[in-house]
Structure 1
């Protein structure tokens, strides 16, 4: 069994309207699914991805209006990467961030690639990374008037885990999930160990987990802008139940087999407390909506459809423009 890379990253927003504006208008991503948190249907769940919702391209947000401030620390997913095709694209984004007053840093090299750190209006810790296309394939660019296919975001890049002790997390990645240690790079924090780079699938940024060891930091207190979990791609439906069996055999408490309708999932926590998910590539976001109109209406899986009126009555109105 082999994981094929990152499937999605799910985070928290306290303002779904501004969140939608940031990810669609400023970042140029496509809203491919407007749904609800299946575990709390009074909350929206918004999925932003490439043009067709390719697995490995979607950043999702749970809308929790009264979410408090995030206090960064360990046991966290402390950065989410997004792939672009070239250094010229990075320059385009740096100018765009200046135009829209998006907080960002200088373009710097991380693990031999040019990167650009930035944040959204809630402090989500994000990064653009140049992907040369030699690893996991690009997603399909969602072309906007101001954002060309050459400059568009074409998928998720590496995720960074910040932990107090890296060895337990490394062991899970290597011995359970099949990742391999590919290298390391300097953290940029004085007296801190190098950041370790683990890879899976066909490689490249879309298949990487970066591990930062920070024993000097407190435990993260999550809130708006923080990441809830990271999911990894299970490309084979046949392997999906086998992963559940493997995790149980290795002593993990899991969620069991969870049908999210657009994909099937298994949740578990690695030893530092970070929530991992294994998600199938199939059936995909177009299982209940045509590709042409993804994200335009509130989508509910069949097991929630009988409760649509009740669910819609409890959802707060959004000013999301179609």
Structure 2
């Protein structure tokens, strides 16, 4: 994993040093700790990393609060070191007094991109650079749950952190559940992406999970709106053998037929045993064969081994395996055809 992430660091260093993103890890760390650190920087907050007197390490991520993250990291380190450890990093900061560092700028509370019931908002849990210096922006849309569950403010999936390490600002496409109709949300997203492009971002990636992924595919009907779309477990209707799920298959074909983004790259991910998918083989063929003729490149991650269910893209294991590949697909001059 250290080797897989190391290519990100030189690109970041061109603009300014970002110690929290340096996969080399803490000074004096042993090989195991350096490898753990290279993975740790790609994981979601709340998180903490601890180091022992002989270079041992321990980490925690995705904790409910900072106190839990710190305690777990220290305990994991102490089990390896056999003695007390000290905290080295907490969330986006390096807290070791010898190398103390905080991000030079914080994400603004808002960019003013939004309207009634929706907003494209910077996420403060990521490094922020601003349009002038960022490699681009990635806009992540959450899913839509039952009983009007409100997912606004939810941290994007773990793999998105790899884009942040590669220099991208991270923003959320938040929608109020009472107004979150699929076609209405796609209209909001088109408007927001135009305004984000006008703000000066050189490359725009639109991504999402479930209904957020569905919206990311819908905006491909507008040429030049996005450079890359990443759709994780795209869905817009109910599950099981319902007519809604049958309608979803028809509507996905319609979205593909309306796609008109000859310069865009599209990554499409689906998982085995997803109850929101009626015909995974048919979906794979539709994306590979028909959408592939309407966009510049397609990366199909089709039911990868070891991942199952509608939410499989959320897990850190998915980020470990596919995060760097998704970044390479979005940014490399010659995008990889597979992971």
Q: What TM-score do the two structures reach when normalised by structure 1?
A: 0.29
Higher-helix-fraction structure? 2
Which structure: larger Rg? 2
Q: What TM-score do the two structures reach when normalised by structure 2?
A: 0.28
Higher-strand-fraction structure? 1
